[in-house]
Structure 1
Amino acid sequence: MKLGYHIGYWSSGPPEGALEAIVEAERLGFESVWTAEGYGSDALTPLAWWGAATSRVTLGTNIVQMSARTPTATAMAAMTLDHLSGGRFVLGLGASGPQVVEGWYGQPYPKPLARTREYVDIVRKVVAREAPVTHDGQQYQLPLRGGTGLGKPLKSTVHPLRPHIPIYLAAEGPKNVALSAEICDGWLPLFFSPKTDDFYRAALEEGFARRAARPETFEVAASVPVIVHDDVEQAADLIKPSLALYIGGMGAKTVNFHHDVFARMGYADVADKVQDLYLAGRKKEATAAIPTRLVEDTALVGPPEKIRDELARWEESVVTTMLVRGDTATLRRVADVLS
């Protein structure tokens, strides 16, 4: 299984030691480096800035939020980064959720699957640069309908380094996972668990069946927390606050895709309790309500021997790349245990 380094998005500012960790990840043989965005730092600028210090690793976004940019603006950024990196860029896209899309970007959220399909189609057309780009969809129109009438189809002035830049889709629900297999080159799962491997295999197969031809390669790059520690409980405690945030607070009470992932995993009662506590402002209690077994289902925690034993079930799953986080010392420990 390949290893990637996921920097994620920033909290209150740039993560300390990020550049050193990226350089070390490449030295250790990691295959890829990834950035993210929410409603603070963007994904593209750090990837370009820090990625300039690398020469081999794939540079990917996990994820660029579609509502933050028009499809053509995203395609422009993708072609630019692909040139600057010498063909090492992977465009990871995601629809995010209604709280961020409507609350931060001021864009409508309905019909995310249809919007994703149109978005990817336009990006593909721009990058291929075979003709002036036109698109007459429900979500996007090029040229725009009902405008001045002066819009005209355009072709990028920049010639792509590669006419096909890989696009991965962040997805959690079965329909969106199937869509990634149908129209993209990879899937970016969050909170994947080997125990739900059959569920996701079926969703991917549904998407592959809708393609004219099954892709020769399809990457599944999963974000997997790895904490090497002699005490399993202490290791799990380092992950539980983040899980509480996503299960409880990253979404509305009625629409939280992360909550739904754990419900499908068999933790519906736990997810409901965590959400109720978190939304009531009782964050410490929400964190304490997460059982260690839930952490162990979605992460690798504990002594090296335990992690190596549990790695086998991940290697048997659809996951092709494991994306880990942490500082330079953490990456060294992880590489030593997983390599």
Structure 2
Amino acid sequence: MKFGLQLGYWGAGPIENAAELVAAAEEAGFDAVFTAESWGSDVYTPLAWWGAATRRITLGTAVAQLSARPPTALAMAALTLDHLSAGRHIIGLGVSGPQVVEGWYGQPFAQPLARTREYVRLVRDVLARESPVTSPGPHYPLPYPAGAPGSTGLGRPLKPITHPLRADIPIWLGAEGPKNVAQTAEIADGWLAIFYSLRLADRYEEWLAEGFARPAARRSRDDFEVAATVQVVITGDIATAVDRYRPSTALYVGAMGAEEKNFHADLYRRMGYAEAVDEIGALFREGRKAEAIAAVPDEMVRETMIAGPPDEVRAQIKQWEAAGVTMLMVTARDVATIRRLATLV
């Protein structure tokens, strides 16, 4: 089992002690540090800024949103960071949701699986640098087709001027549904599992196995990474820990997605919390945020949390490892917690 530090995306301002946290994670033996983006801070600038002070720790995006950049632009950022970090980059990608994709980026959300497959293929083509990059589309046609709206017809196939340090920079995908997880196993090098649940571990393995069984699968289960976002809390007061993370669970289930399409809500329904999910979502839509948070059952928060005294936490980590998780992505926000977590594995 490995630890990754998930710095996430910023709220109203930067994470003030982020540089200190990254330094502590590297010193403590954490394997990786990750940044994220929503509709505020971007994913690459903080990663490069904070990562510049490190020498060993892997630098990952979890996740870079597909609609934020064309695949060639993502590949440019990735090959640049990989050079600057001497080959320590992980590309983590995700489709986000229709509210962000269409509301913030002004892009269509339709066919997220097909878009992901095409996007990943183009990123790999850029990094391979074997020939000028072309694609028939339909989502990312290269060059832009002559005769298409606004086209001059003058586009020509190109390959990167800069030679990538690695043609095989790992690509990990954020995925929640069965089809998306299966495709992740087929085309990616790792799975970024948000809200991983031991209750669903057998189903996850079935979805992954479907992808590994496909003829074009890149990897097998033996060399595939499963990085699970999880709160790891060393405490004798589990009730207080649950209360601390209850608002986050409520937010993702009830407000981070449309009523008609919320992938986080769908995942918790698979865990068996359909009734609570419906109530939380209804309360958020009515503007009753405090009541929505109060409606989250304790066990729903505990579902995706590792908490307890040190020996119990170690035992729970072993359970997650036995279930197939290879990295725990934690959101520690103080140096003491990072150092303490490092003693658990």
Cα distance change, pair 213–74 in 1 and its aligned pair in 2 (3 A): closer
8 Å contact 1:235–1:302 — kept in the other structure?
A: no
Q: How does 1:1-339 map to 2 (within 5 A)?
A: 1-145=1-145, 146=148, 147-212=151-216, 215=219, 217-326=223-332, 327-336=334-343, 338-339=344-345
Alignment partner of 2:323: what SS? coil
**Unmatched 5+ stretches in structure 2:** none
TM-score (structure 2 length as normaliser): 0.96
Cα contact 2:186–2:217 (8 A) shared by 1: no
Structure 2 CA distance, aligned partners of 1:115 and 1:179?
12
Change in 2 beyond 3 A, CA 1:288/1:191? same
**Structure 1 residue 191, shift from structure 2 partner:** 0.2
Distance in 2 (CA, whole Å) between partners of 1:207 and 1:183 is 8
Q: Is the CA contact (8 Å cut-off) linking 1:101 and 1:107 kept in structure 2?
A: yes
Deviation, 1:312, is 2.4
- Separation in 1, partners of 2:259, 2:174: 21
Note the C-alpha offset of 1:214: 5.5
Unaligned runs of 5+ in 1: none
Mark the CA change 1:214 to 1:111 in structure 2 (over 3 Å): closer, same or farther. Answer: closer
Bigger mean CA offset, 313-322 vs 82-91? 313-322
Quick one: distance in 2 between partners of 1:17 and 1:205? Answer: 40
CA contact (8 A) 1:91 1:168 kept: yes
SS at match of 1:172: coil
Shift of 1:306: 2.6
Counterparts of 1:138 and 1:306, CA distance in 2 = 51
Structure 1 residue identity aligned to 2:229? S
Q: Residue 142 of structure 1: SS of its match in structure 2?
A: coil
Runs of 4+ with deviation above 4 angstroms: none
Quote the Cα distance in structure 2 between the aligned partners of 1:220 and 1:310: 16
| Distance in 2, Cα, partners of 1:227 & 1:40 | 28
**SS of the counterpart of 2:59?**
strand
Give me the whole-angstrom Cα distance separating, in 1, the residues matched to 2:291 and 2:313. Answer: 28
Q: Deviations over 1:58-98 (max 9, x none)?
A: 10000000000001000000000000000000100000000
Whether the aligned pair in 2 keeps the contact of 1:71 and 1:119 (CA below 8 Å) is: yes
Task: Check whether the contact 2:4–2:330 (CA below 8 A) recurs between aligned residues.
Answer: yes
Structure-1-length-normalised TM-score: 0.97
**Structure 1 SS opposite 2:182:** helix
Report the number of matched residues.
338
What letter matches 1:101 in structure 2? Answer: V
Paired letter, 1:325: T
Counterpart contact for 2:66–2:95, Cα < 8 Å: yes
SS at match of 1:244: helix
Residues 330, 279 of structure 1: CA spacing in aligned structure 2 closer, same or farther, 3 A cutoff? Answer: farther
Deviation string, structure 1 residues 286-331 (Cα, Å, up to 9, x no partner)? 1111122122221112322332232222111121100111221221
Shift of 1:247: 0.3
Give a deviation string over 1:160-203, Cα, whole Å, max 9, x none.
10111110000001111111111111110100011100111111
CA contact (8 A) 1:221 1:320 kept: yes
Give the whole-Å Cα distance in 1 for the aligned partners of 2:246 and 2:38.
Answer: 20
C-alpha distance in structure 2 between counterparts of 1:90 and 1:112, whole Å = 21
Q: Structure 1 pair 53/170, CA: closer, same or farther in 2 (3 Å)?
A: same
